[in-house]
Structure 1
Amino acid sequence: MTSLTHIATPDGVAPGVNYSHVVWGTGRFIAISGQCAFDEKGDVVGEGDPAAQARQIFENLRRCLEAAGATFDDVVKLTVFVTDVAYLPAIREARDAHINNGRLPASSAVQVAALFRPDLLMEIEAFAVVSDR
């Protein structure tokens, strides 16, 4: 794990809620493509259920991070794409089950008209930084 610096609210910037405005570190950069609620067989988990989809996505993110030699402690940025911003509380709940609330990554949430399949409610991508080996 690398040493990351989190700044929740820089001087002159409105306070953020449930994210850090700035996160930085030194080391190897990892970009994880947007993850959707697919299980290991490629089937959608939780059709019509934002909480179930969010839990599956964070499990997929965990597996991707692990494959890169990282953990959620190394995540510096999350970008959430949702078909309805009403799903954000379910996403936060799934996120909080994996990420220390005192070390939240920088985050963006974007409502989109649709994802590439109509049964998908959200997609989440992540960026992480780990120490050079």
Structure 2
Amino acid sequence: MPDPVALLHVPALSDVAEYAYAYAYAATVEPPARLVFTAGACPLDDEGRAVAPGDHAAQARQVLANLETALGAAGARLTDVVKTTTVYVASSRQADLVTVWEVVRDYFGEHNPPTTLLGVAVLGYSAQLIEVEAGAAVPTVA
């Protein structure tokens, strides 16, 4: 079955930032596909505790593992992700955002869906530094 997701790189838009040229600016989904939307994945272990307080990279890895688990429960994989809707980083330091971005980039590998990366003042759990939402499209049999 053909992949319903097309990731679009747009040469007419800036390629200055790594996340701009390395990741798609847009994505399309062709039928037949089932859409999957996740809640924000948090850096929580299986007992509900935030892992690695103060460590942006370790929390980002836990967040992405949790995101992968949530997608799997819906029958989706990371390669089905159409958009990592938003990557939230609780920091005002651009270096922390870059650290998280590098983990996200490495985790997704060659699959590079559009992504928004931003710093925020605070997230919902004590010691939480990272949260990631995503939308995916899974091929369906017509």
TM-score range, shorter chain: 0.7 to 0.9
> Where do residues 4-83 of structure 1 align in structure 2 (5 Å cutoff)?
4-11=5-12, 13-15=13-15, 16-26=20-30, 27-78=33-84, 79-83=86-90
Partner of 1:89: 98
Distance 1:59 1:86, change over 3 A: same
Between the two proteins, the alignment pairs up a number of residues equal to 131
Unaligned runs of 5+ in 1: none
Give the 3-state SS of the residue equivalent to 1:35 in structure 2: coil
Matches of 2:106 and 2:57 in 1, distance apart?
12
Deviation at 1:87, TM superposition (A): 2.1
Question: After the TM superposition, which of the residue ranges 39-48 and 115-124 deviates more from structure 2?
Answer: 115-124
Deviation at 1:118, TM superposition (A): 4.0
Letter in 1 for 2:26: V
Give the 3-state SS of the residue equivalent to 1:90 in structure 2: helix
Deviations 1:91-130 (A, max 9, x none): 23322343133x3000101221111234111111111111
Matches of 2:24 and 2:97 in 1, distance apart?
16
Asked whether the 8 Å contact 1:73–1:100 carries over to 2, the reply is no
Matches of 1:127 and 1:107 in 2, distance apart?
11
Runs of 4+ in structure 1 over 3 Å off: none
Letter in 1 for 2:103: A
Matches of 1:42 and 1:113 in 2, distance apart?
22
- TM-score by length of structure 1 reads 0.88
Asked whether the 8 Å contact 2:88–2:117 carries over to 1, the reply is yes
Question: After the TM superposition, which of the residue ranges 53-62 and 109-118 deviates more from structure 2?
Answer: 109-118
Percent identity reads 33
Matches of 2:27 and 2:62 in 1, distance apart?
25
Matches of 2:82 and 2:125 in 1, distance apart?
28
1:122 to 102, 122, 130: 130
Unaligned runs of 5+ in 2: none
Give the 3-state SS of the residue equivalent to 2:21 in structure 1: coil
